[in-house]
């Protein structure tokens, strides 16, 4: 961990864990600092394996800057040049003066640091691979356990590494997302025929009280593509790895049936599609009423019964949390009916299942906010704390739909079903399933 300051400064370095608890604090003074962390805490105490973060703060102390930047060939006169703010755009490796950008220009995602022109040249010519934060302003960056020595107030390293364009904060894991846009027929959507009720007598299941023999048209949902991209970007920003990303014909109904689904190989999964609930008994699924999801293959579709799902993966990287971004995906009456008939779309490894207890509408920010709230907190300001998976789902829905301010023509209600032992799961700390399953719903738009 390295930093070069605009002037001689008193600096403090804090290393914190995923819950923002300080595990090590050290300080010093100078025009620069380096610290090689050996992975231990205060007093060389052992720390559990994981991802930690470091925060460097500095304040000028008025002392002389009579030091030479090691290996750079710059004298103290160079160091005393006037410092200015520099900016690096996310798609660039070269700093430019921040003053070049007009007032009001959106610099979110930029790396901004203070340095003299000579220091800027020493730091970024040539630019090095992203790794550690070396800005004189405060900010979080990841710190990984490795060999090293204790802290030292040293002269600048020969070639300090540039910071990542966006700081990473969160405990890394794996996630997957799949979505169906129903666009194979353009703006006409994709129709799906009636579903046999399992008796083999040519009798069909009414969907949401409609005619049992009706063909249902599923309108296109192109916004799913952007919503999925934003969710992936947000999860990766906080250190999570995307293990599954499939759309339309890449997603087959066979992939969603049984315990062999690839979703069971990631820790957090999201499925985005149309959804409906039956208002008749499905004898092919234990004699219960349940939910159905039209999954396309080219320009046609067939229903995935919720009872065909077997969500949940064993081991550290197995599926723990799953969200069904679909209308009526957790319609409470039918969910309770499934439970009473012993029809479970999950196994003993799943912790929580998120969905809708009403009609749902595409929301550009719901999944994005859900990721933010689980990994950082509901409001992005210093001191924010990661929310539970369950609370983040409700808060994301509420904020996203209030922000959209559409006339949906009715209430929007989200639901969460899950093991009672896992109701307070966070992505950083979760409990082992072992209780009875419960159901909670919350109106997020009226």
In a domain, 148, yes or no: no
The answer on 363 and 269 residing in a single domain is yes
Report DSSP state, residue 433.
P
pLDDT at 32: 83
Q: Residue 285 is part of which domain span?
A: 174-445
Write the pLDDT tens digit of every residue in 363-401. Answer: 889 999 999 999 988 865 556 789 999 999 999 999 999
Q: Count of CB atoms within 10 A of residue 339's CB?
A: 15
The answer on 373 and 259 residing in a single domain is yes
The answer on 277 and 395 residing in a single domain is yes
pLDDT at 372: 92
In a domain, 165, yes or no: no
Closest CA to 371 of 426, 417, 334, 414: 426
pLDDT at 118: 52
In a domain, 154, yes or no: no
Write the pLDDT tens digit of every residue in 278-287. Answer: 999 999 999 9
Which position has the token pair 């083999």?
200
Residue 260 contacts by C-beta under 8 Å, 6 or more apart in sequence?
none
In a domain, 166, yes or no: no
The total domain count for the chain is: 2
What is the Cα–Cα distance from 307 to 292, expressed in whole angstroms? 9
The answer on 191 and 284 residing in a single domain is yes
What is the Cα–Cα distance from 71 to 175, expressed in whole angstroms? 43
pLDDT at 439: 98
Residue 73 contacts by C-beta under 8 Å, 6 or more apart in sequence?
none
pLDDT at 101: 63
pLDDT at 366: 96
The answer on 106 and 45 residing in a single domain is yes
DSSP 385-414: -PPPHHHHHHHHHHHHHHHH----SS-EEE
Report DSSP state, residue 370.
H
pLDDT at 80: 40
**Sheet (strand 96-97) strand order:** 96-97, 84-88, 111-115
The answer on 193 and 138 residing in a single domain is no
What is the Cα–Cα distance from 385 to 379, expressed in whole angstroms? 9
Give the angle subtended at the CA of 217 by the CAs of 192 and 256, to the nearest 5°: 50
Residue 182, domain CATH: 3.40.50
The answer on 178 and 90 residing in a single domain is no
Q: Is the pTM of this model over 0.95?
A: no
pLDDT at 104: 55
CB of 390 within 8 A of CB of 320?
Answer: no
Query: For the chain, which residues score pLDDT lower than 50?
Result: 66-81, 120-171
């Amino acid at each position: 961990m390295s930093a070069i300051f605009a002037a001689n400064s008193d600096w403090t370095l804090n290393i914190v864990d995923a819950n923002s608890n300080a595990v090590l604090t050290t300080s010093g003074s100078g025009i620069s600092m380096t610290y090689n962390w050996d992975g231990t805490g205060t007093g060389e105490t052992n720390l559990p394996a994981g991802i930690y973060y470091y925060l460097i703060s500095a304040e000028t102390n008025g002392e002389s800057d009579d030091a030479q930047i090691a290996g750079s060939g710059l004298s103290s006169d160079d160091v005393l040049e006037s410092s200015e703010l520099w900016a690096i755009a996310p798609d660039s490796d070269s700093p430019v003066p921040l003053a070049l950008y007009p007032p009001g220009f959106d610099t979110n995602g930029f790396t901004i640091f203070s340095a003299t022109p000579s220091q800027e040249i020493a730091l970024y010519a040539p630019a090095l691979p992203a790794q550690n934060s070396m800005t004189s302003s405060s900010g979080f960056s990841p710190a990984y356990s490795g060999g090293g020595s204790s802290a030292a107030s040293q002269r600048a390293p020969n070639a300090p590494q540039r910071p990542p364009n966006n700081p990473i904060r969160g405990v890394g894991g794996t996630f997957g997302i799949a979505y169906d846009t129903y666009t194979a027929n353009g703006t006409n959507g994709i129709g799906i025929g009636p579903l046999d009720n399992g008796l083999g007598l040519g009798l069909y299941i009414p969907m949401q009280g409609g005619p049992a023999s009706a063909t249902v048209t599923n309108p296109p949902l192109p916004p799913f593509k952007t919503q999925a991209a934003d969710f992936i970007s947000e999860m990766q920003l906080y250190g999570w790895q995307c293990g599954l990303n499939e759309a339309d014909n890449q997603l087959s109904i066979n992939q969603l049936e049984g315990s062999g689904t690839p979703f069971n190989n990631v820790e957090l999964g999201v499925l985005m599609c149309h959804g409906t609930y039956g208002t008749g008994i499905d004898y092919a699924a234990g004699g219960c009423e349940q939910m159905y999801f039209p999954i396309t293959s080219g320009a046609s579709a067939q229903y995935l019964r919720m009872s065909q799902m077997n969500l949940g993966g064993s081991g550290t990287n197995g599926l723990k949390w799953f969200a069904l971004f679909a209308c009526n995906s957790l319609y409470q009456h039918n969910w309770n009916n499934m439970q009473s008939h012993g029809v479970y779309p999950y196994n003993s490894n799943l912790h929580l299942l998120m969905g809708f207890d009403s009609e749902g509408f595409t929301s550009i920010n719901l999944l994005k906010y859900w990721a933010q709230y689980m990994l950082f907190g509901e409001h992005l300001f210093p001191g924010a704390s990661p929310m539970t998976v369950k609370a983040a789902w409700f808060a994301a829905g509420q904020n996203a739909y209030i922000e959209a301010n559409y006339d949906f023509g009715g209430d929007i209600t989200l639901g969460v079903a899950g093991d009672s032992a896992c109701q307070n799961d966070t992505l950083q700390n979760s409990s082992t399933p072992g209780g009875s399953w419960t159901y909670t719903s919350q109106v997020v738009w009226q």
